[in-house]
Structure 1
Amino acid sequence: MHDYLTLKSREMEVGGAPEIISVLPLGHVKSAKGEFDVDGESFAAMKAQIAQRGVDLVVDYEHQTLTGEQAPAAGWVKELFLDDGQIKARVEWTDRAKAYLENREYRYLSPVITVRKADSKAMGLHSIALTNTPAIEHMEAIVNSLNFEEGGHNTMNEFMKKLAALLGLGEDATEEQVAEALKACVEENKSLKESAAEAGKQQQPPEDDKVVANKEVCELLGLKAGAATADVAAAIMALKGGNIGGVNLVEQVESLKAKLADRDAEEAVEMALKAGKITPAQRDWAKGYALKNLDDFRGFVEKAPQVVPMGSVGGSEPLALKADEVDEATLLVCKQLGISAEDVKKYGMKGE
């Protein structure tokens, strides 16, 4: 979880209050917090970070800026530059810090840097501190400040301990263990939320289970009061389709209409026959005409001349030719139809 290392300058006295200080050497650096590299990219990243903040980089006392305690500034970094294989800074000291340095009350500098884990390269400069407690001896470049972490003021370390305790882990839990426990906790919480949401959906009655409160509607459809919406909808659709009680009313109505039409056509044809307006031979034609358009057929019968003498037509019984002779009624009808007497004798006589 540590993204930064707290580092202190070489064990050299700071004579007076120098305007230019050494912050980090270029190259591979070893410290109590691990090894890391410092190069041109490191320098560029640090300068970009300071520019992005838009304020001068602070020089404090004993890393108080990190601990959250009262953190008065000892000075401000006004410029960062490369010189003689090192990253250096031009510092503007406070009067108090100048006095400390001139009185030799503070003798070392300790920069706080951020290290990129992917390649262990220094990529940021958080602050610089005045300190008197170097942790590593014989470091030619920079060393860690002993008080920062071992003295119990590492805010991030304390946070990790509290987080580990909340997750049921011991104080000696590693970063990876804490991360895995936290991930499992998040997944479990997500699963619980999804289960709760699903349970809430199941408690809601489905649309098909909702009831129709209108008692009259239900009774008109032959359903009990409070019937489900699905049942009411089914009854209405059946009604629209002509089905009631399992009987297809549409088919029955169509059948009844056909029977009535056949009856009316038959009656109209019988009346036409009895009125002598058509001959028995025309029955099928007349029936088809009447079924197709009864009103038109009745109009035809009303306007048509009498072609068969009254008393010569027996209604539904077809006329028969008498021996070899063609009777007067038949000849009259044939005349109306454009049939000659010779054709009647030739094709209509019995036995032909």
Structure 2
Amino acid sequence: MTTRAALALCSALPLRDVAADAADSEWLHLLPGGGTVRTGDGRGPYTVDDYEALAAVSLGDGDRLVLDECHSTDLAAPKGQSAPARGWIVALEARADGIWGQVEWTGTGRQLRADKAYRGISPVIAHTKDNRIVAIKRASLVNDPNLQGLTALHQKESEMDFRAMLIELLKLDTDADDAAIEAAL
């Protein structure tokens, strides 16, 4: 009896140059901490239940997330226009001040970064009808970021947690929420 086998064509995975990756990567602030994500344009506010779970589900099976310019993946690509990656988010990490993404820059992205052509990052998020964030899908280099509380591109990453510092200065409980901080201020 003859058995038929199905063929699956698989693309090759590129080998990573670890030394180049280390030189061409950095961590960028993608989502502010505190459980509530506020915007400048009035959408939201959005909530995050579990930052570590959100980071894990957003990269899923280890795929990379695109970092483009001005949301070109969502706005230009559907119209058949160019939407090249300027970097790839290869890791996500939940920290006290939110979610950070490790970006491996493309050559053009590296040049845009060096030229300080953009001042901020704008993540694309998936959320439920009740505004609970369930995934980070990708991010864009922008000059007018919508999310409040993100670290700007042109300042150094800091271990200082301003929220914790405010709580301490205002002599609040360490688990004080945004409403308690606002009331104390």
- TM value normalised by structure 1: 0.32
**Runs of 4+ off more than 6 Å:** none
Per residue, is there more strand in 1 or in 2?
A: 2
Match for residue 32 of structure 2 among 10, 25, 32 = 25
Q: How does 1:294-333 map to 2 (within 5 A)?
A: none
Q: Which residue of 2 aligns with 1:220?
A: none
Match for residue 145 of structure 2 among 134, 151, 167 = 134
Q: Which residue of 2 aligns with 1:34?
A: 44
* Alpha-carbon separation, structure 1, partners of 2:122 and 2:146: 11
Q: Which residue of 1 aligns with 2:107?
A: 95
Does residue 112 (structure 1) correspond to residue 124 (structure 2)? The answer is yes
For the 8 Å contact 1:25–1:38, the answer to whether it is kept is: no
Q: Provide closer, same or farther for how the CA distance between residues 19 and 99 of structure 1 changes in structure 2, counting only shifts above 3 A.
A: same
| Structure 2 unaligned residues grouped into runs of 5+ | 1-23, 152-185
Cα deviation digits, residues 50-88 of structure 1 (max 9, x gap): 224x52111011111112231100111111111233111
Structure 2 counterpart of 1:36, one-letter code: Y
Cα deviation digits, residues 206-259 of structure 1 (max 9, x gap): xxxxxxxxxxxxxxxxxxxxxxxxxxxxxxxxxxxxxxxxxxxxxxxxxxxxxx
Q: Provide closer, same or farther for how the CA distance between residues 82 and 106 of structure 1 changes in structure 2, counting only shifts above 3 A.
A: same
For the 8 Å contact 1:73–1:94, the answer to whether it is kept is: yes
Q: How does 1:228-243 map to 2 (within 5 A)?
A: none
Q: Which residue of 2 aligns with 1:60?
A: 68
Q: Which residue of 2 aligns with 1:51?
A: 60
- Higher-Rg structure is 1
Partner of 2:149: helix, strand, or coil? Answer: coil
Q: How does 1:117-266 map to 2 (within 5 A)?
A: 117-118=129-130, 120-134=131-145, 139-141=148-150
Partner of 2:113: helix, strand, or coil? Answer: helix
For the 8 Å contact 1:22–1:88, the answer to whether it is kept is: yes
Structure 2 counterpart of 1:47, one-letter code: A
Per residue, is there more helix in 1 or in 2?
A: 1
For the 8 Å contact 2:30–2:150, the answer to whether it is kept is: no
* Alpha-carbon separation, structure 2, partners of 1:30 and 1:81: 20
Larger RCO: 1 or 2 (CA < 8 Å, sep 6+):
2
* Alpha-carbon separation, structure 2, partners of 1:48 and 1:140: 22
| Structure 1 unaligned residues grouped into runs of 5+ | 1-16, 143-352
- TM value normalised by structure 2: 0.58
Percent identity among equivalent residues?
Answer: 30
Does residue 81 (structure 1) correspond to residue 93 (structure 2)? The answer is yes
* 1:49 Cα deviation from its structure 2 partner: 4.0
Q: Provide closer, same or farther for how the CA distance between residues 123 and 43 of structure 1 changes in structure 2, counting only shifts above 3 A.
A: farther
Q: Provide closer, same or farther for how the CA distance between residues 116 and 101 of structure 1 changes in structure 2, counting only shifts above 3 A.
A: same
* 1:18 Cα deviation from its structure 2 partner: 6.2
Partner of 1:34: helix, strand, or coil? Answer: coil
* Alpha-carbon separation, structure 1, partners of 2:85 and 2:38: 28
Cα root mean square deviation, aligned: 2.4
* Alpha-carbon separation, structure 1, partners of 2:115 and 2:142: 14
Partner of 2:47: helix, strand, or coil? Answer: strand
Structure 1 counterpart of 2:44, one-letter code: G
Between the two proteins, the alignment pairs up a number of residues equal to 122
* Alpha-carbon separation, structure 2, partners of 1:70 and 1:116: 29
